[in-house]
Structure 1
Amino acid sequence: MESALSGEVGITTHSDGYLHAAAAFEGEGSCIAEARQLAAGFLTRAHTEHGVPVSQRSVELVRLVVSELITNALKYATGPILLDLRIADGLIEVGVWDSDPRLPVARAADVGRVGQHGLEIVMAVCQGFEAMREPVGKRITARLALTDAPVSDSSGSACLQHCSS
């Protein structure tokens, strides 16, 4: 696991063709900006060094999703936060692990509510969404298209999905 503080995004290329980067954060406020920068750097390097098509809109959406998921981890859990980025089949998978086992619940849309729209936003912009308990804590995973063209997730569905196993 690479520390986000190292400044350089390390990309691992796996034998089955996907690109991967990961970082651990100490759970301090500055980690939100660091995580956003890490995600943008990962996508930039995937594009420039590996020829992966990535739209500017996708970079901005990934930065938004990373920001919302890391913010929620900071707000609801104590201890370290793990960010896992994976590119395969025209999608980027953003995984965030934290120590709190409680799964998030998206609230019903309410234009009058101030705040607490993060999960609602994430689910609106991604092609796939999962929340799963781990032996310790939970892992939230959002899948987003790398280009502006619609892309299905690995299950063949372009719909949002929320798993709570």
Structure 2
Amino acid sequence: MRQMACENETRPLEVRRELSMRVFVDGQPLAWARRTARDFLARARDAHRVAVSDRVMDTVQLVVSELATNARTYAPGPCLLELTITDSAVEVSVWDSEPTLPMAHAPDPARIGRHGLESVAAVSLRFEIRREIVGKRVTAAVALADAPAGNPEGPVT
């Protein structure tokens, strides 16, 4: 935390921690997108001392995989992957050029496939699908804080 001098008094200056990266996923395998997310989180943990647990690492890679798969499957052209770490979450955002908004289906254990958005929404603090001037953006926020031991309700908000 930085310090600010103020008339012979030193007070902490609040600094909002935010780290981010953007990459186009165009022609690379989906494993590349997952690896890019994992490497970004590892750098945040090692170089910036962000608390990134194994749960966060795994969950972010799942979200990246699902959102990038949808973009590659249903949209023409490249997609843009953005990862942002705030004080409380890792925000995963995928933009693509297809204007049609995806819809999560009602849970159906008999359905084969098409559970990706359901899964992403289930592991996210926030989940948003937004149309943009060109295409759409799907954003999910994964909590940085792990749930307390014995709390089956998931992440602390």
TM range (shorter): 0.7 to 0.9
Rg comparison, structure with higher value = 2
Which residue identity is paired with 1:143?
A: A
Q: Distance in 2 between matches of 1:34 and 1:94?
A: 15
- Aligned partner of 2:72 among 51, 71, 74: 74
TM-score by structure 2 length? 0.83
Contact 1:129 1:142 in 2 (8 A): yes
Match of 2:140 in 1: 142
- Deviation digits for residues 92-139 of structure 1, max 9, x if unmatched? 000000000111110000000000000010001011001001100000
Q: After the TM superposition, which segments of 4 or more aligned residues of structure 1 sit over 3 Å from their partners?
A: none
Q: CA RMSD in A?
A: 1.2
Query: How many pairs are equivalent?
Result: 136
Q: Distance in 1 between matches of 2:88 and 2:17?
A: 11
Match of 1:44 in 2: 42
Q: Which runs of 5+ in 2 are unaligned?
A: 1-14, 148-154
Q: Distance in 2 between matches of 1:54 and 1:90?
A: 11
Q: Distance in 2 between matches of 1:126 and 1:140?
A: 12
Q: CA deviation at 1:147?
A: 2.9
3-state SS of 1:129 partner: strand
Match of 2:11 in 1: none
Q: Distance in 2 between matches of 1:16 and 1:126?
A: 22
1:22 corresponds to 2:22: yes
Contact 1:22 1:83 in 2 (8 A): yes
Q: Distance in 2 between matches of 1:148 and 1:125?
A: 12
Q: Distance in 2 between matches of 1:39 and 1:147?
A: 18
- Deviation digits for residues 6-33 of structure 1, max 9, x if unmatched? xxxxxxxxx853101110121x3x4311
Contact 1:106 1:120 in 2 (8 A): yes
TM-score by structure 1 length? 0.79
The structure with the greater share of residues assigned to strand is 2
Q: Distance in 2 between matches of 1:151 and 1:79?
A: 37
- Aligned partner of 2:129 among 104, 128, 131: 131
Q: Which runs of 5+ in 1 are unaligned?
A: 1-14, 153-165
Match of 2:6 in 1: none
